[in-house]
Chains A and B, each alone.
Chain A
Amino acid sequence: MTPLIAARAIIAREFARFITQRERFLAALVRPLVWLFVFAAGFRAALGLSIIPPYQTYITYETYILPGLCGMVLLFSGMQSSLSLVHDRENGAMRLLLTAPLPRWFLLGAKLLAGAATGLAQVVVFLAIAWIYGLKLKWFGYLAMLPALLLAALMLGALGLALSSRIRQLENFAGVMNFVIFPMFFMSTALYPLWKMQENAPILASLCRANPFTHAVELIRFAAYGQLNLAALGWTVMATGVFFAAAVWGFEPARTRGGPRGTGGAQG
C-alpha cells in the first residue's frame, strides 16, 4: 500500500462521512450563524469597541466576531472529526486504520488533514453567507485567510486527536464540550477583545492569552486584513506540534491496546 492510496482513502472516507451527514453540516453552519444574526445583532450597540490592530477604524460587533466565528466552525468541526475516531474505535474501523503498514504519524496526519479540509469547506460556506449578509472583506483578505484557517483547523484537529486517544466512549463527548470546547471558545478573543476582558477580569485575560484558540483566532483576524500576526502564528504552530505529538504518543499501540473496554485494540 502506498502512502498516497492510504491518505486518499482516509480523506475520501472523511468527506463521504461529511457529505452523508447533512444534519452535521447544517448544525455546523447554524451554530455560527445564530451567533452572527442573533447574538451579535443584540450586542452591537452594547459593546463599544476601541480601535485595536488589525483594525484601522471603528467596526461593528459583527465585523469583530467574524474571525472568531470562523474559529468556532473549525473548533467544532475539528473536534467532531477527530472524535469520530472514538466511534471508529467502538465499531472496529480504527483497527483497520491503525493496522495499515504505514507510520502511525502518517495515518493520523492524513486523518487530521481530512478533518481540516472538511472544516475549511464549512468556513467557506459560512463566509459566503456572511458576505451575503453584508460582512465583506477585501479579496486579498479572503485569500490570506486560507492558510491561517488551514493552520487553525490543523491545530484544533490535532487537539481533538490527542483527546480522542484518551476517550473510550462516544458519550464522553459531552464532557469534551463542557471542559474543552466551551472554555476554549469563551476564554478567547473570539467574542470580545482582550482589553475588554482585562478591564473586567484580569485572571480570565491571562487564561485567554495562554489559550491557543485565542492565537488561532487572532491569526485568522489579522490575515483577514492582509496582515501577519507573527506571535499568533508562532503560538498556533507550536500548539499544533504539541497536540499532534500528544496524539501520536496517545495512539501508540502500547497505550491503545489496553483500553478499559478492550475495544481499542490496534494491532500495529
Chain B
Amino acid sequence: MIRFLLLTTLLSTPAMADEIWVTNEMDDSVSVIDTTTLEVIAIYPTGERPRGITTSRDGSLLYICASDSDAVQVMDPTSGAVLHELPSGEDPEQFVLAPDDRLLYIANEDDAITTVVDTRTRKIVTQIDVGVEPEGMAISPDGRVQVTTSETTNMAHWIDTETHEIIANTLVDPRPRYAEFSPDGAQLWVSAEIGGTVSVFEAATQSELGKISFAIKGVQPEKLQPVGIRFSPDGARVFVALGPANHIAVIDAATLQVERYILVGRRVWQMAISPDQTRLFTTNGVSGDVTVIDLKTLEPIKTIKVGRYPWGVTARKTD
C-alpha cells in the first residue's frame, strides 16, 4: 500500500524544472537549460542573429530580437514554435517589456530610434528619436520611465512612457551598452563598455550618485569592458559582466564597492537569475557556454556548452 502511494505520488508530481533560455547569435537558435539538471534540454531555431530575449511575466511567451531578420519573434516556449513576428524597426538588438506585458521598447541600432510596439495589436505605437546607436534598454519597475542608452552619443535617454517624450539625457562614459533599474526603482545603473565603468544614477533626479571602476589582478585594464548588469533578488548586490575580462564583478549596492570577481567563460555578455533565485547564469560569447554561479557562495559551479556565441539570456518559470 505504502509502495503504491509512493509510486502514485511520484507519478503525479510534475517533473517541471524552471528554464534558462539563451540566444545563440551565430547559430540562429535558442538553447534551453534545465535549472535543476543544468543540462541543455532543447534547441530551437530562430530568425537571424538572435540577441535580446525576454519572457512575458507569466512565462507563456518568449520575445526574441532576431537582429538580422529585422524582427522580434514571439515564441511558444512549450513547443519552440515561432507564433508570429512583431514589427521592430531595423536591426533590433535589445528590448525591454513593460511591467504590464503590453508595450515592448526596442532599440534600433542603425536608425537611432527607440521603437515602441504593442504586443497585443502587433503594431508600432511610436518611434522615439534617441542618440546614435541605441542599445541598452531598461524600464522602471512601475513602468513610468524607460531608458535607452546610445552607444555613440554616450548618453542615457530618460523617456516618459505616458508621453513617449525624452525627459532627460545624462552623459555616461563611452559606449554604454546596458542599463538596469534597481528592484525598488530608486536607482538606474548604466554600464560603459569602452569607458570601463558603471554609472549609478538616482532615478528621481537623474543625478549621478557614483561611478564604479574595476581592476582584476593579471587582467589588462582595457579588457575590463562592463556590459550586462543584474541585481540580486534582494537588491543588495549587483552583478556586472566584464566582457573580455571573463569575470563577473560582484558589487555591494550600498557602498558601490566591488566585493569580488568571479571567473566565467570568455567574453561574458548577459546574465539571468533562476526563478528560485539561487543561481546566476552568464552567457559567455567566445567560449560558447553558460556559467552557473551559486548565489549563496558566489562560486561558479558549472559551465554548460550551448550554441555558438551565446548572447542574451532570460529565466522562465514553468509552474
**Which residues of A are at the interface with B, using a C-beta cutoff of 8 A?**
41-42, 44-45, 48, 51, 56-60
The residues of B that contact A41 with a CB separation of less than 8 Å are 217-218
B291 within 8 A of A: yes
Q: A41-B217, A44-B218, A45-B219 are in contact. Are A59 and B263 (CB under 8 A)?
A: yes
Provide the B277-307 mask, 1 if CB < 8 A to any CB of A, else 0.
0000000000100011000000011110000
Contact A51 B263 (CB under 8 A): no
Shortest CB distance A46–B (Å): 9
Contact A57 B218 (CB under 8 A): no
A-B contact pairs, 30 of them (CB 8 A): A41-B217, A41-B218, A42-B218, A44-B217, A44-B218, A45-B218, A45-B219, A45-B220, A48-B266, A51-B303, A56-B301, A56-B302, A56-B303, A57-B263, A57-B264, A57-B291, A57-B292, A57-B301, A57-B302, A57-B303, A58-B246, A58-B263, A58-B264, A58-B265, A58-B287, A58-B291, A58-B300, A58-B303, A59-B263, A60-B263
Question: Across the two chains, which residue of chain B brings its CB closest to A45?
Answer: B218
Per the bound structure, the CA–CA distance linking A48 and B300 in Å amounts to 17
The residues of B that contact A44 with a CB separation of less than 8 Å are 217-218
Question: Across the two chains, which residue of chain A brings its CB closest to B38?
Answer: A56
Shortest CB distance A52–B (Å): 11
How many residue pairs between the two chains, A and B, have CB atoms under 8 Å in the bound complex?
Answer: 31
Per the bound structure, the CA–CA distance linking A45 and B221 in Å amounts to 12
The residues of A that contact B292 with a CB separation of less than 8 Å are 57
Q: For chain A, what secondary structure do more than half of its interface residues adopt (helix, strand, loop), or is it mixed?
A: loop
Q: For chain B, what secondary structure do more than half of its interface residues adopt (helix, strand, loop), or is it mixed?
A: loop
Count residues of chain B with CB under 8 A from any CB of chain A. 16
Per the bound structure, the CA–CA distance linking A58 and B287 in Å amounts to 10
Provide the B61-90 mask, 1 if CB < 8 A to any CB of A, else 0.
000000000000000000000000000000
Question: Across the two chains, which residue of chain A brings its CB closest to B266?
Answer: A48
The residues of B that contact A42 with a CB separation of less than 8 Å are 218
The residues of A that contact B291 with a CB separation of less than 8 Å are 57-58
Interface residues of B in 116-145 (CB under 8 A from A): none
Most B-side CB within 10 Å, residue of A41, A44, A59: A44
The residues of B that contact A48 with a CB separation of less than 8 Å are 266
Shortest CB distance B263–A (Å): 5
Shortest CB distance A111–B (Å): 42
The residues of B that contact A51 with a CB separation of less than 8 Å are 303
The residues of A that contact B264 with a CB separation of less than 8 Å are 57-58
Interface residues of B in 242-276 (CB under 8 A from A): 246, 263-266
Per the bound structure, the CA–CA distance linking A59 and B246 in Å amounts to 11
Per the bound structure, the CA–CA distance linking A45 and B267 in Å amounts to 14
The residues of B that contact A56 with a CB separation of less than 8 Å are 301-303
Per the bound structure, the CA–CA distance linking A208 and B209 in Å amounts to 56
Per the bound structure, the CA–CA distance linking A51 and B291 in Å amounts to 11
Question: Across the two chains, which residue of chain B brings its CB closest to A61?
Answer: B218
Per the bound structure, the CA–CA distance linking A44 and B291 in Å amounts to 19
Shortest CB distance A36–B (Å): 14
Per the bound structure, the CA–CA distance linking A56 and B263 in Å amounts to 12
Shortest CB distance A59–B (Å): 7
Known interface pairs A57-B300, A58-B265; 14 further A-B residue pairs with C-beta atoms within 8 A, sorted by A's residue number: A41-B217, A44-B218, A45-B218, A45-B219, A48-B266, A51-B303, A56-B301, A56-B303, A57-B291, A57-B292, A57-B302, A58-B246, A58-B287, A60-B263
Question: Across the two chains, which residue of chain B brings its CB closest to A44?
Answer: B218
Per the bound structure, the CA–CA distance linking A48 and B223 in Å amounts to 15
Per the bound structure, the CA–CA distance linking A44 and B217 in Å amounts to 9
Shortest CB distance A235–B (Å): 28
Most B-side CB within 10 Å, residue of A41, A48, A56, A60: A56
Question: Across the two chains, which residue of chain A brings its CB closest to B303?
Answer: A57
Closest 4 CB pairs between A and B? A57-B303, A45-B218, A57-B300, A56-B302
The residues of A that contact B287 with a CB separation of less than 8 Å are 58
Question: Across the two chains, which residue of chain A brings its CB closest to B223?
Answer: A45
Question: Across the two chains, which residue of chain A brings its CB closest to B245?
Answer: A45
